Amino acid sequence: MTLDEFVTAFAEEFDETPAEQFKADTVYKELDEWGSLTALSIVALTMENFGKKITGADLRACNTIEDLFNLIQTK
Amino acid sequence: MENPFSLEGKFILVTGASSGIGRGTAIACAQMGAKVVLSGRNETRLQETLASLAGEGHLVLCGDLNSEETRKEIVDKMPPLNGVVYCAGISQIQTAKFMDQLSLEGIFQTNVFSPLMLNSLLLKKKKIQKNASIIFISSISGVYRSQVGEGGYGATKAALAGFAKSLALELSAQGIRVNTIHPGVVETPLLEVSNGTLGEEELETLRQKYPLKRFGKPQDIAYCAVYLLSDASGWMTGSNILIDGGFTLK
Ligand SMILES: NC(=O)c1ccc[n+]([C@@H]2O[C@H](COP(=O)([O-])OP(=O)(O)OC[C@H]3O[C@@H](n4cnc5c(N)ncnc54)[C@H](OP(=O)(O)O)[C@@H]3O)[C@@H](O)[C@H]2O)c1
């Protein structure tokens, strides 16, 4: 999965936030819709697409979607 | 006067006795005079529990309760029981949208199917004596409240509460009582599952939401189990007991 594809998949987990709002440099934690449900969805999405397990701590450590993408690559 | 809360002379099986609430329950039962049968998978930790029990005559029956074969072997070695605490259980976090069938089957196997089938076998082999007391450790999750990602876990815990009602009826003729305990968050290794997503900061925020300003300790649950196992609770059956430091009050 490329960074662009990850951004698209990331956006799909949000029901209220318009997809256009998601870019590689989006600071996801600042989105109104960011919360435990969306966080768990991103954990599941990462498992499904990369076969890798990220934690709540990982999500807290990153700022942008790209940061998270890069962190996933190192796992 | 004889102490109605004593467990003197009673044989009590505790599953999940190698850790957390089950270990605390085994220790409290022994303190109150019971002979305890300790069940769990990890032999080393079961032996640690055994070493911390007061009194003599306790028994360790190690094995994976998810295996039918193991359940049979364990029941064959079981002394006649005056009480059972079904405490073995696992936790899991997955949202409804990303539900994974294998994980769901896994948690239902451990939390529901295994205790129910062990219970069935104990009854068939007449290992549960008249006037015994059976306890299922459920949770506040599922029956009283939930949080995102806890649907599967909560469903298993609600299943136990549902089952216990029917079992209480079926066994009432023999004077056997069946009750469930519903703990809020208790500090045990099980918490680490949620810790993966929660983090220390959020855990502290959650802790502050408990009106009594702390999470539970295994003893908080164990002492309730002692009461339910003792003759003091002789007229209690089919009850769901909530112990949550006031968490569900608001
Ligand atoms: N902690 C809480 O906040 C909380 C709140 C409400 C309800 N509960 C419930 O309380 C019960 C005990 O939880 P805990 O916090 O004490 O958890 P824990 O410390 O993780 O202990 C779980 C116990 O279950 C045993 N177990 C798991 N799978 C088993 C299997 N297949 N066969 C045999 N034994 C098995 C474990 O044995 P080994 O370690 O030897 O494998 C261990 O002794 C669970 O049913 C849980 O759902 C806990």
Task: Tell me the pLDDT tens digit for each residue of B136-168.
Answer: 999 999 999 998 999 999 999 999 999 999 999
pLDDT in tens, A22-57: 999 999 999 999 988 899 999 999 999 999 999 888
pLDDT at B204: 87
A57/A73 Cα distance (integer angstroms):
16
Residues of B in contact with A60 (CB under 8 A): 199
- A41 at interface of B, judged by CB pairs closer than 8 A: yes
B36/B237 Cα distance (integer angstroms):
22
Identify the structural domains of chain B with CATH numbers, from first to last.
Answer: 11-243 (3.40.50.720)
Is the distance from CB of B177 to CB of B8 less than 8 angstroms?
Answer: no
| β pairing state of B35-40 and B81-86 | unpaired
pLDDT at A55: 87
pLDDT in tens, B215-241: 999 999 999 999 999 999 999 999 999
Which residues have CB under 8 Å from B25's CB, separation 6+?
A: B14, B17, B85, B87, B218, B221, B222, B225, B226
pTM of the shown model: 0.94
Tell me, what's the ipTM? Answer: 0.78
pLDDT in tens, B81-132: 999 999 999 999 999 999 999 999 999 999 999 999 999 999 999 999 999 9
The 8-class DSSP code of residue B80 comes to: P
Kindly state if the Cβ of B180 falls inside 6 Å of ligand 1: no
The overall average pLDDT reported for chain B is: 95
pLDDT at B195: 54
Task: Calculate the alpha carbon distances from B141 to A32, A39, A60, B24, B179 in Å.
Answer: 27, 20, 26, 21, 17
pLDDT at B194: 61
B185/B213 Cα distance (integer angstroms):
12
Closest C-alpha to B186, from B139, B154, B240: B139
Residue numbers of the domain that contains A38? 3-14+23-74
Check A40 against B147: CB less than 8 A apart. Answer: no
pLDDT surpassing 90 at residue B202: no
In percent, the amount of chain A with pLDDT more than 90 equals 89
**CA of B43 relative to ligand 1 center, distance in Å:** 15
Residue with tokens 């998978």: B41
Residue B207 C-beta-side C-alpha neighbours within 13 Å: 16
CATH of the domain at A54: 1.10.1200.10
Kindly state if the Cβ of B20 falls inside 6 Å of ligand 1: yes
Question: How many domains, in total, are found in chain A?
Answer: 1
